[in-house]
Structure 1
Amino acid sequence: MTSIELPTPSIEQEDELGLVEIAPDYIEEQVKCQAACPAHTDARRYIWLVSEGRFDEAYALNKIYNVVPGVLGRVCTRPCEVACRRADDDEPVAIRALKRASSDFKSDRWRMMMPEPQPPNGMSVGIVGAGPAGLAAAQDLALLGHAVTVYESLPMPGGMLVAGIPAYRLPRDIVEAEIADLLDYGVKIQCGVKIGGDIPLSRLLGMHHAVLVSAGCQKPMRLDIPGEDAQGVYPGLWFMEKINLTSDAPEEAREHGGNLDLTGKRVAVIGGGFTAVDCVRSAVRLGASEVQMVYRRGMDEMPSTPEEIHEAQVEGVGLVLLASPLEVSKDDNGAVRALKCVRNRLGVPDASGRRRPMAIEGSDFEIECDIVIAAISQEPDLSWIDIELELTRWGGIKVAPDTGMTSHQGLFAAGDFALGAASVIEAVADAHRAAEGIHRFLGGTNPLEKTLESSTLRGYKREMHVYEMPREEEPVIPVAERDDFTTEVEVGYSPEMAIEQAQRCYFCHIQVSQTESPCVVCGACVEVCPKDTIDLLRPDGSLVDPKEIMFPRRGMPDNDVLPASSPGDSASILIDDDACIRCGLCATHCPTGTLVMKDYYVQPQPVLLRTAK
């Protein structure tokens, strides 16, 4: 089987060159995109692969971490981009779009790069729910040699990927293809089987050596305001399920998801998250004459992304910010007449880190509307569980933080069912943790200790024009063509655009390292550094004043051996890694070989890459 080919000699080989070792934790902190990703996706490395046009390898690497890269390349909340160091200088690397590019432009070669499953170990695991968490855990466990059966109550797998997210954001053929890949690992998916109905949970526990519940959050949260029972008030979750699944939607969604003919209707959607944005954009497509999104905080605090909000506004959605609903006003027939709200101001941050909305006395106002959609959040439905479990103070299932096991031996929980309403990438990350916990529970090995591996990049130097390239947003189709639920709005990069955008990355896994070859204090590195990140430190602890150095001089330094600024002078080289852009100029122009560029990465990789028995 072919593996992803990257230069990765061991740290022991590097020691012979006299290079200074760096701690694994330090490298993890330096690669901020990977540190910010809940699943610790090796973004820096797949971006590197995309920058070289190696889409198959980039996709295989993504598949190991994310299970559904084509999905996450469209709907991930992008915490990596918030952390991206490039944003300190202009705008972050388009990391999510590059993940999608790895999916869009792969061939079948990526399959040859995936790890082989471990031999069957005789252990059986049942998974409740075929959403993101269930699928991620299924892949991990199957690759570790366990027999995995996933039980899904809907007629098709995917969970919220197919029930909650509209197809104009996430095409169904992408979801179906990536789920089908799991079958190659021997995963069995039984759809139309409701655990707690067709099979009681207590019985399921007797059918498998371990059971993972990843049933998501299926219970919409109430507004708890007067008039919520008015005709024309719909939960956002059920509204989207009815749109996406039609006759296959759960009974609650079919009965309470609302009338999908909104022609001429005025719609108010309460909430600021992804479900709320999906609701307003879907209402536009269903013919509503006016659609407004009511959110209690400001634009900067909205859980959804600025790009999603922008596209909603482009499609005609209005925003009512800093407003909280007080009451649904009814007409004489008990139907929605208006949504009564109050204006807010923002106070001190609450537990979420966002500033708390505080009502402004006497600022009540009404939004005239015919339909109110409550998309404020959802929570796990525990009504089907027929065994006694320890709960948290908030009424959720209590799980061990390191393994995901509940208070019942052999029963685990992951994803939204354990976390509460979360993002797809958070659900995938939680599933990795639970899968590792299940594996250890069934006799597998404990996690390996972190080690650092690296390679020296001789002659590494980047072209400086890549640091001037602006971020390009993904192209979208014209608004006039957004009149149905099947046409994808974002069309993604071309291969050429993806390669160019990937080259914007600073590749933070590359570090400037100092060898034992002595620095002669020539100042060449100080002169050529475009970000002024380098200082020279003498043995007595004093910094070298650039004015004292024989060089700098105008023009680029020669690669000749240069004399020290005084006989026997030497220095340590201090580099601000947070500001360094890894251009390689300092190492290229170092006349003594004191500076080299090194590629670091931390082992172990995710659990499914380990030799675990």
Structure 2
Amino acid sequence: MAEKMLQFVRLQQRQPDKRDASERRADWGEVYQAFAADAASQQASRCSQCGVPFCQVHCPLNNNIPDWLKLTAEGRLEEAYEVAAGTNTFPEICGRVCPQDRLCEGNCVIEKGFDSVTIGAVEKYITDTAWEKGWIKPPMPVRERQQSVGIVGAGPAGMAAAERLRTMGYQVTIYDRHDRAGGLMIYGIPNFKLEKDIVVRRWKQYVMGGIQFRLNTTIGRDVTLGELRQRHDALLVATGVYKARDIDNAGAGLPGVVAALDYLIASNRKGLGDDVPDFESGALNAEGKHVVVVGGGDTAMDCVRTAVRQGAASVTCLYRRDKANMPGSMREVKNAEEEGVRFEWLAAPEAFFGEGKVEGVRAQRMHLGLPDATGRQQVEPIAGAHFNLRADLVIKALGFDPEDLPAAFGEPELTVTRWGTLKIDYRTMMTALPGVFAAGDIVRGASLVVWGIRDGRDVAEQIHQFIQARGAAPAMAAE
């Protein structure tokens, strides 16, 4: 057990043991092994307990990171979990999928010269221990309320809001068009980053806590938004964004040029034991193929690393900017490089070619020019600098846009921004429809799981205030 904090001057940063790349290429297990108790305590003791904790400032949830690091260093793990869970609905998930190198760890005060505290790994250790010890309980209220809240979308924002509202005593029902709860945590994020039983156990716990799930339910087809407004005292839309951004290059319609989310969902469903015809046919299976992934974000990294594990003959990531300007986590890039992914920096697809199916990508070399209005350097083509890449499967990982929810829901009064995201009053998080709130990616655009959790927790408070302002019904004693 650590005797005191500020041990960064004595102890070097150490992540949990990392599995060898040759081993992890062959399976879907997580990259890092679990922390041993002594190692977690020692790494937590490296925290400087600084007066202005920039790790906390740069965390979307404003997690009390120095506090739970100190408690971990002292061996007070149950208290550490209570502090972590006080601000974070899913600390075990954030510890696995958050880009800590861009958020908390990237802003650690001791980073310059001593390497940051391994915040994400300690967070994962605390919560995994809490699950193992049985400290985590279903969200049970002290007293029940008669009012009900309907939530459309069982992703991070919807689930986080449901947990907060259920704890307050509301009757909560979550509607989702998929057959499992979790949204992209189940279907979008590969197992090597987030094993699915981690998500499923939270889902089961919510069911035990009295949250109802209506899965395989599409709003606008199986039930209308109007019917849900009549059924519930308030409604939350937290559908996320699933519409893939497309590319209009020549040959983009060839068989074998697929969207990233279609590819990832097929892979995750196969891993969950589902029957996936497009995987079995090879349409969404990289086995034995030369794969090119277009894009440079976290979704692109998920795709290249999934293709490696499916047994691709080669995997290349094509990104129009350089490595320093890549939006994805540098930790993920390093993992991909270790696993054999080839990166073509400063290169953009110009066309896809092939007879009856894609056989290759014609790419254009790029260079970074002058900064635009945002300060980011513009990308400009280098005249005459073309090259070809062999490709049996091209995966477009160019980001996501919102679906047309007013049309899908049959609610033209549900107004949207010029980007297609739902328009809300940012003070109340309510849409143009009274009593209908929105949160998560459908409001802010495609973002991180941690921002979805933050938005879900925030909107739960706004929904509570709205219902109470309308006149609270008498509370029911919990049985």
Q: Do they fold alike, i.e. is TM over 0.5?
A: yes
**Cross-structure match for 2:39:** none
**Cross-structure match for 1:68:** 90
When residues 250 and 126 of structure 1 are mapped into structure 2, their CA distance, relative to the original with a 3 A threshold, is: farther
Question: What secondary structure, in the 3-state scheme, does the structure 2 residue paired with 1:324 have?
Answer: strand
Deviation readout 1:291-349 (Å, 9 max, x if unpaired) = 00011111122222122111111111100111111211222x2x112212211212344
Asked whether the equivalents of residues 240 and 257 of structure 1 are also in contact (C-alpha less than 8 Å), the reply is: no
**Cross-structure match for 1:608:** none
When residues 172 and 395 of structure 1 are mapped into structure 2, their CA distance, relative to the original with a 3 A threshold, is: closer
Equivalent of 2:385 in 348, 356, 363: 363
The alpha carbon displacement at 1:393 in A equals: 1.8
Equivalent of 1:235 in 256, 259, 269: 259
Q: Distance in 2 between matches of 1:402 and 1:358?
A: 40
Give the AA of the match of 1:119: R
Q: What is the TM-score of this pair, normalised by structure 1? A: 0.64
**Cross-structure match for 2:474:** none
Answering whether residue 135 of structure 2 is matched by residue 110 of structure 1, we say: yes
Asked whether the equivalents of residues 347 and 358 of structure 1 are also in contact (C-alpha less than 8 Å), the reply is: yes
When residues 219 and 95 of structure 1 are mapped into structure 2, their CA distance, relative to the original with a 3 A threshold, is: same
Q: Distance in 2 between matches of 1:93 and 1:266?
A: 39
Answering whether residue 53 of structure 2 is matched by residue 31 of structure 1, we say: yes
1:385-424, aligned counterparts within 5 Å? 385-388=409-412, 389-424=414-449
When residues 409 and 259 of structure 1 are mapped into structure 2, their CA distance, relative to the original with a 3 A threshold, is: same
Asked whether the equivalents of residues 177 and 215 of structure 2 are also in contact (C-alpha less than 8 Å), the reply is: yes
Q: Distance in 2 between matches of 1:208 and 1:282?
A: 41
When residues 347 and 307 of structure 1 are mapped into structure 2, their CA distance, relative to the original with a 3 A threshold, is: same
Deviation readout 1:19-44 (Å, 9 max, x if unpaired) = xxxxxxxx999121111111111112
Answering whether residue 248 of structure 2 is matched by residue 214 of structure 1, we say: no
Give the AA of the match of 1:67: T
**Cross-structure match for 1:426:** 451
Question: What secondary structure, in the 3-state scheme, does the structure 2 residue paired with 1:49 have?
Answer: helix
Question: What secondary structure, in the 3-state scheme, does the structure 1 residue paired with 2:178 have?
Answer: coil
Q: Distance in 2 between matches of 1:385 and 1:375?
A: 27
The alpha carbon displacement at 1:183 in A equals: 3.2
Q: Distance in 1 between matches of 2:362 and 2:285?
A: 24
**Cross-structure match for 1:384:** 408
Over the matched positions of the two proteins, sequence identity in percent amounts to 36
1:180-191, aligned counterparts within 5 Å? 180-191=204-215
Unaligned runs of 5+ in 2: 1-48, 471-479
When residues 137 and 91 of structure 1 are mapped into structure 2, their CA distance, relative to the original with a 3 A threshold, is: same
Highest Rg: 1 or 2? 1
Answering whether residue 372 of structure 2 is matched by residue 344 of structure 1, we say: no
The alpha carbon displacement at 1:160 in A equals: 0.4
**Cross-structure match for 2:462:** 437
Answering whether residue 105 of structure 2 is matched by residue 81 of structure 1, we say: yes
Count of paired positions: 416
Question: What secondary structure, in the 3-state scheme, does the structure 2 residue paired with 1:85 have?
Answer: coil
Q: Distance in 1 between matches of 2:378 and 2:144?
A: 52
Deviation readout 1:335-368 (Å, 9 max, x if unpaired) = 1122122112123445665433222222222212
Deviation readout 1:108-135 (Å, 9 max, x if unpaired) = 46347x9963522322110111111111
1:86-485, aligned counterparts within 5 Å? 86-106=110-130, 107-108=132-133, 110-111=135-136, 117-246=141-270, 259-331=283-355, 333=356, 335-350=357-372, 354-381=376-403, 382=405, 383-388=407-412, 389-443=414-468
Give the AA of the match of 1:181: Q
Asked whether the equivalents of residues 262 and 288 of structure 1 are also in contact (C-alpha less than 8 Å), the reply is: yes
**Cross-structure match for 2:4:** none
Give the AA of the match of 1:318: R
When residues 224 and 85 of structure 1 are mapped into structure 2, their CA distance, relative to the original with a 3 A threshold, is: same
Deviation readout 1:504-532 (Å, 9 max, x if unpaired) = xxxxxxxxxxxxxxxxxxxxxxxxxxxxx
The alpha carbon displacement at 1:191 in A equals: 1.9
Unaligned runs of 5+ in 1: 1-26, 446-613
The alpha carbon displacement at 1:224 in A equals: 2.0
When residues 355 and 44 of structure 1 are mapped into structure 2, their CA distance, relative to the original with a 3 A threshold, is: farther
Asked whether the equivalents of residues 187 and 269 of structure 2 are also in contact (C-alpha less than 8 Å), the reply is: yes
Asked whether the equivalents of residues 28 and 35 of structure 1 are also in contact (C-alpha less than 8 Å), the reply is: no
Q: Distance in 2 between matches of 1:254 and 1:52?
A: 51
When residues 123 and 57 of structure 1 are mapped into structure 2, their CA distance, relative to the original with a 3 A threshold, is: same
Question: What secondary structure, in the 3-state scheme, does the structure 2 residue paired with 1:242 have?
Answer: helix
When residues 435 and 351 of structure 1 are mapped into structure 2, their CA distance, relative to the original with a 3 A threshold, is: farther
**Cross-structure match for 1:45:** 67
**Cross-structure match for 2:36:** none
For the aligned residues, what is the CA RMSD? Answer: 2.7
Asked whether the equivalents of residues 301 and 336 of structure 2 are also in contact (C-alpha less than 8 Å), the reply is: yes
**Cross-structure match for 1:473:** none
Give the AA of the match of 1:291: V
Q: Distance in 2 between matches of 1:370 and 1:358?
A: 28
When residues 68 and 252 of structure 1 are mapped into structure 2, their CA distance, relative to the original with a 3 A threshold, is: same
Q: Distance in 2 between matches of 1:250 and 1:415?
A: 28
**Cross-structure match for 1:572:** none
The alpha carbon displacement at 1:196 in A equals: 2.2
Q: Distance in 1 between matches of 2:325 and 2:453?
A: 24
Q: Distance in 2 between matches of 1:312 and 1:96?
A: 19
Deviation readout 1:57-101 (Å, 9 max, x if unpaired) = 222322232211111111012211121111133211111111101
Q: What is the TM-score of this pair, normalised by structure 2? A: 0.81
Give the AA of the match of 1:178: R
When residues 253 and 305 of structure 1 are mapped into structure 2, their CA distance, relative to the original with a 3 A threshold, is: farther
Q: Distance in 2 between matches of 1:407 and 1:195?
A: 18
Give the AA of the match of 2:338: V
Question: What secondary structure, in the 3-state scheme, does the structure 1 residue paired with 2:79 have?
Answer: helix
